[in-house]
Amino acid sequence: MYGIKIGAACLAFAWLAAAALSARVEAQTASPGFANLRYSPLTEINAGNVQRLTPVWSFSTGVLRGHEGAPLVVGGVIYVHTPFPNTVYALDLGHEGKILWKYEPRQDSGVVALMCCDTVSRGLAFADGKIFLYQADTTLVALDVATGAPIWSVRNGDPKKGATGTSAPFVVKDKVLVGVSGGEFGLRGYLTAYDIATGAKVWRAYSIGPDADTLIDPSKTTELGKPVGGEASLASWQGDQWKIGGGAPWGRISYDPALNLIYYGTGNPSTWNPTQRPGDNKWSMAIVARDADTGIARWVYQMTPHDQWDYDGVNEMILNDSIIDGRSRKLLMHFDRNGFAYVLDRADGELVSADKYDPAVNWARAIDMDKASKSYGRPIVEGKYSIEQNGEETQTHGICPSTVGAKNANPAAYSTATGLFYVPMIRLCMDYEPFRIAYAEGQPYTGADTAVYPETGETAMGGLIAWDAGTRRIVWSDRKRFAVASGVLATAGGLVFYGTLEGYLKAVDAASGRELYRFKTPSGIVGDVTSFEHQGRQYVAVLSGVGGWSGAGLTAGLTHSDEGSNSPEVYAALANYTALGGQLTVFALR
C-alpha cells in the first residue's frame, strides 16, 4: 500500500479556479458565468475536426508553481494571472500575445508560508472598465482595463492571523465579492462584498458565529424548509470555539439573477481534530444562499455536520433548470468533496437528491432522505470510519475519500446539449490520526496527520466521469494514472476538454468519453480549460504549471521514493512526467 504522510503544517489541499464575468465577457468566452456551467456554445471546433487542433502561440508567465484558474478574455485582449507574486499580463490577441501591460503587486513574501496548498491564485474578474485581482495578502485591487494602473485597493484580511487570498473575485451587479482562506489557521471565515466603483465595503457575512455576524434572520432563514432559529450557529459550538472555528469560503460563487441570490460553500471547521469542537459546528461545511444586495441568508444546508475528515464544502454550485415530477425546477448541483452529489432547489433549499458519485465512498452509507426522520438531510456515518469513539481521538484507517475529496474545487462542467455533468475525479483513500493542538494566532491549527493512498485495488488515482443527474448514475468513466486537477470545459461541438497532471490537454467525445485529441504542454495542468472566439475564429486556451495539492511532490521537492512515506505512486512518480512551469498555450484549428 502506497501512502502520502501529510503533516499538520502541510494543511489541506484544494483547488478553485476561474473568475465571474460580466455579460459582455460571457458573449466572447466560455466563462463559468453566473451559473458555473462551464459550457461553450461555440461549434467551430468539434468532434469531427478536433484532431486538427494545434497550438498557435504560447506565453511564459515567468512564474513557477501552481497555475490554477483560467485566463480572462475581454474584447481583443486576454488577461493572464500568475501564482504569487500575482502578476497580471494583458496580452493582445491580434498579435499572438504581445504584452500590452503588466501589473506586478508589491506584497510581503512572508505570506507564502501561510498559504495552504501552494501559492495559487484562481482567477480575475472584469466589470465597469476594471480588472479585479485578489492578491495572496488579501488585497483586492481594481486595475484599469486599458492600462493596468491601480484605481483602488482594499485589504480583506490580516495575514498575521492566517488570512490569505487565493479565490477569484466574483462580480454581481455593482459589487465584487471575495472570500478568504485560512481555516487551517483557525481563522473564522467570511464573504465580503465591495462596491466596484470605490472599493467601499458593502456587507460582510461570517460563516460562523452570532446571527448578526452571519447575517442570518432566525425567523426567515431556513434549512431544509424549516427556520434555523435564533443563534443556531452559536448553539452548535462549545464555549468560544466558534471564534477560531474556520469555515473559510475560499471557493467559487454562483448567482441567479431572477432570484437575486448568490450561492457558495463554506470550508472545514477548525481544528481538524473533531473531539476539540463538540457539536454540529454550524455553518461550516454548508451551502449558503444569500441576497446579493444585503448578504442576508435565504437558506443554508450543512452537508457534513461535525466534520471529521476535512471535507471542505467549497466545491462549485452549478445552476441548471430541469423537469422533475412533471414540473420545472430551478436546481443547484453540487459535487461535494465528501463524495456525494447533491441536488437542491435553489429557490428554497429543498434537498432533491443526494447520491455517491464515487462508489468507493465509505465514510457514510447514504444521506438520510426520509423527511419524517430527525436525521433528515444528514449523512448516515459508518462508525468504523469515524475519527472519534466515545469522545476520544481515534486513529482510523481505510477512509474513502481522502481529505482532498472524491473531487476537489477544480470545476466540473454541464452540457446543455447532452444533459450530463462532467466531473474531474480523485480516487484516493486515507488513514487519519487526530491529536490535541493548542491555538496560537497565525500558526497552523490542524490537529491531525493523514496518510493518503490509491483506492483499494486501483492503480488509477483519478479520472473523468459523465454523471446523469436524472438517473443519478455514472454514464461513462475514464480512469487516469493521476488525479484530475484541472477544470473541465464542455462545448456545443460535442467535446469535453480537460487537462492532466502530466501536462496533456485532452478532448473526449461528450457522449462516449472516447479520447479524440491530446497535446503535451510544458508542465502539468491544474488550470481550467477555456474557449473563446476572436475575429471569427474559435480558440481553446489553458494555463499549465503543476502545483496545488496535486503538485506538492514537485513544489516541496518530494521526488524520491524514500520521501512522502515511501509514496512513489502519489508524489514521486509525477516527476517522471512533468516539471514546474508556467505557460499559457492557445490552440486553434490548423
Query: Cell 477544470 belongs to which residue?
Result: 487
231: DSSP letter: T
Q: What is the mean pLDDT of residues 20-41?
A: 60
How many CA within 13 A on the CB side of residue 465? 21
In a domain, 567, yes or no: no
AA letter at 222: T
- Phi-psi map region of 107: left, alpha, beta (phi>0 left; psi -120 to 50 alpha): beta
In a domain, 98, yes or no: no
pLDDT at 460: 86
Longest dimension (CA), the chain: 66
Write the pLDDT tens digit of every residue in 203-215.
999 999 999 999 9
In a domain, 100, yes or no: no
Residues 90-119 as b/e (b if ≥16 CB within 10 A, e otherwise) read: bbebeeebeebbebebebeeebbebbbbbb
Q: Which three three-digit cell numbers place residue 330?
A: 430551478
In a domain, 414, yes or no: yes
Question: Please, where are the H alpha helices in 146-264?
Answer: 211-214, 232-235
AA letter at 69: G
Query: Cell 498575521 belongs to which residue?
Result: 160
By residue range, what is the domain housing residue 351?
4-9+17-91+105-562+572-589
In a domain, 462, yes or no: yes
Q: What is the mean pLDDT of residues 373-379?
A: 97
- Distance in angstroms (rounded) separating the CA atoms of residues 281 and 286: 10
Write the pLDDT tens digit of every residue in 81-134.
999 999 999 999 999 999 999 999 999 888 888 877 788 889 999 999 999 999
Q: Is the pLDDT of residue 328 over 80?
A: yes
Q: Which three three-digit cell numbers place residue 453?
A: 493512498
Residues 526/546, Cβ–Cβ less than 8 Å: yes
DSSP reduced 3-state for 26: helix
DSSP reduced 3-state for 269: strand
pLDDT at 37: 96
In a domain, 155, yes or no: yes
User: What's 376's domain CATH number?
Assistant: 2.140.10.10
Whether 562 is catalytic is no
Band (27; pLDDT cuts 50, 70, 90): very low
Beta-bridge partner residues of 490:
39, 496
- Distance in angstroms (rounded) separating the CA atoms of residues 71 and 184: 28
Residues 124/79, Cβ–Cβ less than 8 Å: yes
Instruction: Work out how many domains the chain is built from and give that number.
Output: 1
DSSP element (H, E) containing 320: strand 318-324
Write the pLDDT tens digit of every residue in 210-234.
999 999 999 999 999 999 999 999 9
In a domain, 99, yes or no: no
Q: Is the pLDDT of residue 4 over 50?
A: no
Band (340; pLDDT cuts 50, 70, 90): very high
Residues 251/167, Cβ–Cβ less than 8 Å: yes
In a domain, 211, yes or no: yes
Query: Cell 469555515 belongs to which residue?
Result: 247
pLDDT at 559: 58
The active-site residue, picked from 137, 256, 307, 310, is: 310
